[in-house]
Chains A and B, each alone.
Chain A
Amino acid sequence: MRPIGFSTGAVAKGDFRRALEVMAPFRLPAVELSALRLHELPRLVEASEELNLAGYKYVSVHAPSHFAPADEEQVVSWLTELAALGWFVVLHPDVIFRDELWLEFGDRLLIENSDKRKPTGRTADEMKLLFERLPGARFCFDVGHARQVDPTMNEAYLILQCCGPRLCQVHISEVNFFSRHDPLSSGAIEATRRIAHLVPEHVPVIVETLIDKGQSTIEAELHRAVDALRPTLPIAV
Chain B
Amino acid sequence: MARDEMTSESDLDWTLLLDKPVDPADLPTTQRIASKIYAAKFAEPGKTNIFGTMTFSHSLVHDIGGPDDTNANTTRRILLLLESYAPAGREAYDRVRRHILHRYVEDDYGLSFGSGQKVVPRFLLNDLSRYWRSVTVDFVQKQRADAGGKWALRNAKLRMSRKLIFAAGLLVCFECHLDPDAESARLDLRDPRGGTARLIQYLEQRFSVPPLEILARSVRRHARPETARLLFDNYDAFLSLMDNHEQRAVLKSLEPGQARTSEVFVQVREISHGFQEGLTRLFFRDNPEIYSLTEFYGVF
B contacts with A, residue count (CB < 8 A): 22
Q: Does A28 interact with chain B (Cβ within 8 Å)? A: no
Q: Quick one: which of A158, A233, A237 contacts B201, CB cutoff 8 A? A: A158
**Closest A-chain residue to B98, C-beta based?**
A152
Q: Are A237 and B99 in contact, with the CB atoms below 8 A? A: no
Chain B's interface: helix, strand, loop or mixed, by majority?
helix
List the count of A-B residue pairs having beta carbons below 8 Å apart. 51
Q: Are A154 and B200 in contact, with the CB atoms below 8 A? A: yes
**Closest B-chain residue to A237, C-beta based?**
B190
Q: Does B58 interact with chain A (Cβ within 8 Å)? A: no
Q: Does B197 interact with chain A (Cβ within 8 Å)? A: yes
Provide the bound-state CA to CA distance between A9 and B98, in Å: 33
Q: Does B194 interact with chain A (Cβ within 8 Å)? A: yes
CB distance from B106 to the nearest CB of A (A): 8
Indicate with 1 or 0, residue by residue over B242-286, a CB within 8 angstroms of chain A CB atoms.
000000000000000000000000000000000000000000000
Q: Are B98 and A154 in contact, with the CB atoms below 8 A? A: yes
Q: Quick one: which of A116, A150, A151, A157 contacts B195, CB cutoff 8 A? A: A157
Which positions 62-120 of chain B face chain A at CB distance < 8 Å? Answer: 91, 95, 98-99, 102, 112-115
Chain A's interface: helix, strand, loop or mixed, by majority?
loop
Q: Quick one: which of B98, B112, B197 contacts A157, CB cutoff 8 A? A: B197
**Closest B-chain residue to A150, C-beta based?**
B98
Q: Are B193 and A198 in contact, with the CB atoms below 8 A? A: yes
**Closest B-chain residue to A159, C-beta based?**
B197
Provide the bound-state CA to CA distance between A134 and B300, in Å: 53
Which positions 164-223 of chain A face chain B at CB distance < 8 Å? Answer: 177, 194, 197-198
Q: Are B99 and A152 in contact, with the CB atoms below 8 A? A: yes
List of B residues within 8 angstroms of A198 by Cβ: 193
CB distance from A187 to the nearest CB of B (A): 13
List of A residues within 8 angstroms of B198 by Cβ: 158
A-B contact pairs, 25 of them (CB 8 A): A116-B91, A150-B95, A150-B98, A152-B102, A152-B200, A154-B98, A154-B102, A154-B196, A154-B200, A154-B201, A158-B197, A161-B197, A233-B192, A233-B193, A234-B193, A234-B194, A234-B195, A234-B196, A235-B113, A235-B189, A235-B194, A237-B113, A237-B114, A237-B115, A237-B192
* Interface residues of A, Cβ cutoff 8 Å to B: 116, 150-154, 157-158, 161, 177, 194, 197-198, 233-237
